[in-house]
Structure 1
């Protein structure tokens, strides 16, 4: 991670968040799917329990001596076989040996249905009885649908529960393909929402990452220029009130220190140049003074040499304004000899 650029790290963070969101969406879809199926099976359970209530009503009349066992069952079965509910539900009943006792269609009444299999080979009638005897439960199986091709399979869900006094399992079933359509619609909604969130998230991430990485790049460029002692560049983003602004202000402070050092170096160079000029001027003055003094000595020496040879008419030549008084005094002294 230390070797990754900040932009890449931020994109990685966004990726992790998106993955977490995808996982959460997946579990939300699974929960919604389970809730949809639970709602349908709760409806089936309610219908079955209503059928058991009918059986119990006739059983109570049997216990009260109002009806014989056979008459009570016959009337109960007659009532239950006519019970229907939307969209195409009905009730059926087996004894514990999987013999069909009541059903809207009389074709299989009294037959042993333990060997009945669905379109995939599963013994669903036996499973309905077993789950009913176990206290009630769900059974899934595949069956053809009226008005549809026989080779086309549709998922069907059944719920069954036992009525112990008569050793009868009451059940009902309903096609679940409409639930799968609801689940698919839920999945598409979730995927669409996830896609929108993903696109918006990527767009927002790119915007905010650019808002971070671009100023950082600008400050880095300015810092490189300052490191090369280029103090003419304006430091960008010093007005930002975040970490980037703090870095920019620190870079600006460093630039000011370098600018002050440059100014100090310029002042020192100017002072050094002034000292050198003054030294050269003094040296030139000294040289001029020495040359003048040498000329004075030479001129007076020549005059003295002529006097030594007896020439009293000699006069000291011009030896400069600075030594004019000396020349005048020398010449005045000669005029009195």
Structure 2
């Protein structure tokens, strides 16, 4: 699209380029440098806001065409064309390859495809590594189990249960019998690379395989020895034939050194199954990736067409607006996306710009009507400022300003009536001021009497409050003493309960001792019988049992004494139990008495607490009354001061009323239908005489107020 040259006057209007160079590249390079393009767009928005911010209620002396001069209109057209050229690659500093929007979108698609492919390759590599690590971990476990069997045999050798050669023979048999999977087995070689166990290659047993190599030339057993001697155990990848197979396949081997016997125990597993599983995952993933690539290409193509087409239509619409073709349709405004928003804004700007030109003539007519209205209002206001309230505006205004004329005339009539009322009321104000002054003097005297009465009442309330507060404090102290007594009584009751419990335990102990004494008595009785039987047997023995008879006699005597002592103790215990029962009964009676005392003391405490609470509430109530009286005294003093101020104000008002009469006389008023101005009849203010305050107070009882008569207040 050709870009018209910018007129020279646009430089004075603030356009970023003032050069008459018609070349788009030169002008765009200046206008859309790092800051030029932002300034151009800001100027575009300013032009758009001019017609929005100056409706008919503003700017009565101008129009949108005046506020947007021809130079600015030309500048708007030039800036619009510059924006179009810049957005679609004319003069754009970008590389020519990425100048167009479709190329940019395709570049994003290609970048997404490359990243997706890299991610797919990375995930497949990670999956392969993980599968191999899992297989190596399983081989490590199998090798560890085989080594644990050899360690068990070695412990038997160390314990002397079997010989070393027998243990090795058993170990070979055990390792040969171990199999896993379809072709998994355990083998063993010594540090000289002589095979000791190999289930699938029995002809290798007892031979050195130091020079055995796989299809790629790697010496398998030498590599295993290197890993075992370096790390103790590890994995080795090599190529080896499957049992019954014709070709060698990739295999993962794991070797672990068994130092006590000088063996290296190993195993291996083929990875063909891992490769098959990875291939089963890789093929669907590649198909999915290809489908995704095709979908992205299709979607990007649709997206490019959905963007470039509406943009081209929007560029054409902007060109129409820039060339003042306001009747051209804007298809982009009907869309529901971001381009539709741009189209709607462009349509709104076009409508406002067209409307501004249509409103220019109407605003000029409004300006002329405004000048006439201002002239007539100026004449009326000048007469009003000179005190002439008879001048009104009789010429009819335009409908937009007719209400203003009526309001002015109504204001003049209102002022005329108001000034008439002021003239009539000025005399009455003077009379009322004199009456208010007299009433203020009378009120001042009454207020002074009331203040004196309140001072005496406040003093009496102070004395009563102090007395009630002292009574409340005494009741509180008595309440505390009663509470302490109640607490002591409760503690005594607890002590009595504990004593009852202790004596009950003593009684139980006495009963237990009595039972034990009975057992001792029975034992003494049995001992006596045994001693008697022993004496009889000694007598039968004759001379040989004489010594035994003496001992039996002594035992019988001791049993007799034990029985007597047990009876005496039992008697004492019975007497003690009777005394304990008597003590328990006495303590129970004492506990009941203390419980009754606690209840009575508690009742006394409750009553005294109620008394203390009532006294405290009375004290608080009297304090509040006293505060109220003090506040009332303050208010009375303030009223007295206010009365004096009101008296002074009444005198001042009388003087101001006279001044008002002299000022009102300067105005020329309309004559009323009933004749000239006449003063309104005044009614004198009537004040009821108040009885004198009773300043005498009886000694008892003191009263807060003088009965129910509050006229002194």
Aligned partner of 2:137 in structure 1 is 42
Structure with the bigger percentage of helix: 2
Aligned partner of 1:173 in structure 2 is: 268
Aligned to 2:212: 116
Q: Report whether the alignment pairs 1:125 with 2:258.
A: no
Rounded Cα–Cα distance in structure 1 between residues aligned with 2:232 and 2:300: 54
SS at match of 1:137: strand
Residue aligning to 1:135: 232
**In 2, Cα distance between equivalents of 1:254 and 1:146:** 87
Is 2:140 the counterpart of 1:64?
no
| Alpha-carbon distance between aligned partners in 1 of 2:289 and 2:145, rounded to the nearest angstrom | 42
Gaps of 5+ in 2: 1-93, 363-713
* Structure 2 residue 191 is the aligned partner of structure 1 residue 96: yes
Q: 1:135 to 1:224 in 2, by over 3 A?
A: farther
Instruction: String of CA shifts for 1:192-241, please: whole Å, max 9, x gaps.
Output: 22223222333333333433333222212322333344333321232545
Q: Distance in 1 between matches of 2:137 and 2:104?
A: 49
96-105 vs 9-18, which moves further: 9-18
Q: How does 1:140-179 map to 2 (within 5 A)?
A: 140-149=237-246, 152-179=247-274
In the TM superposition, residue 115 of structure 1 has moved relative to its aligned partner by 0.7
User: Equivalent residue for 1:288?
Assistant: none
Q: Deviations over 1:27-46 (max 9, x none)?
A: 11100111111121222111
Q: CA deviation at 1:81?
A: 0.9
- Partner SS for 2:216: coil
Q: CA deviation at 1:66?
A: 0.9
Q: In 2, Cα distance between the equivalents of 1:26 and 1:95?
A: 42
For the residue of structure 1 that corresponds to 2:188, the secondary structure is strand
Question: CA–CA distance in 1 between the matches of 2:154 and 2:284?
Answer: 50
Is the CA contact (8 Å cut-off) linking 2:183 and 2:242 kept in structure 1? no
Is 2:321 aligned against 1:226? yes
Judged with a 3 Å threshold, the aligned counterparts in structure 2 of structure 1 residues 224 and 130 are, in CA distance, closer, same or farther, namely same
1:262 is displaced (CA, Å) by 7.2
Give the Cα separation in 2 of the matches to 1:232 and 1:109.
Answer: 103
Aligned to 2:169: 74
Residue deviations 1:145-201 (CA, integer Å, cap 9, x gap): 44544xx44212211111122221111112212222222222223212222322233
Q: Deviations over 1:84-125 (max 9, x none)?
A: 110210000011111111111320111111111111211011
Of residues 323, 328, 341, the one that matches 1:246 is 341
Structure 1 range deviating more: 69-78 or 176-185: 176-185
1:189 aligns with 2:284: yes
Task: Give unpaired runs (5+ residues) of structure 1.
Answer: 269-337
Partners of 1:196 and 1:136 in 2: CA distance: 46
- In the TM superposition, what is the alpha-carbon distance from 1:256 to its structure 2 partner? 2.5
Corresponding residue for residue 305 of structure 2: 210
State which drifts further: 245-254 or 82-91.
Answer: 245-254
2 CA distance for matches of 1:82 and 1:188? 40
Contact 2:183 2:243 in 1 (8 A): no
How many Å separate the matches in 2 of 1:233 and 1:159?
Answer: 83
Question: How far apart are the structure 2 equivalents of 1:161 and 1:109?
Answer: 19
Higher relative contact order (CA 8 A, sep 6+): 2
Shift of 1:67: 1.0
Residues 132 and 162 of structure 1 are in contact (CA less than 8 Å); yes or no, is this contact kept in structure 2? yes
| Distance in 2 separating the partners of 1:75 and 1:214 | 86
Instruction: Give the Cα separation in 2 of the matches to 1:41 and 1:193.
Output: 31
* Partner SS for 2:326: coil
**CA RMSD across the alignment:** 2.5
**Greater share of strand:** 1
Counting matched residue pairs gives: 265
Whose Rg is larger? 2
Secondary structure of the equivalent of 2:329? Answer: coil
- Asked if 1:55 is matched to 2:150, the reply is yes
Matching residue of 1:314: none
> Displacement, 1:51?
0.8
The DSSP-based 3-state class of the residue aligned with 2:350 is: helix
Contact 1:94 1:129 in 2 (8 A): no
TM-score by length of 1: 0.71
- Structure 2 vs 1, CA of residues 92 and 147 (structure 1 numbering), >3 Å: closer, same or farther? closer
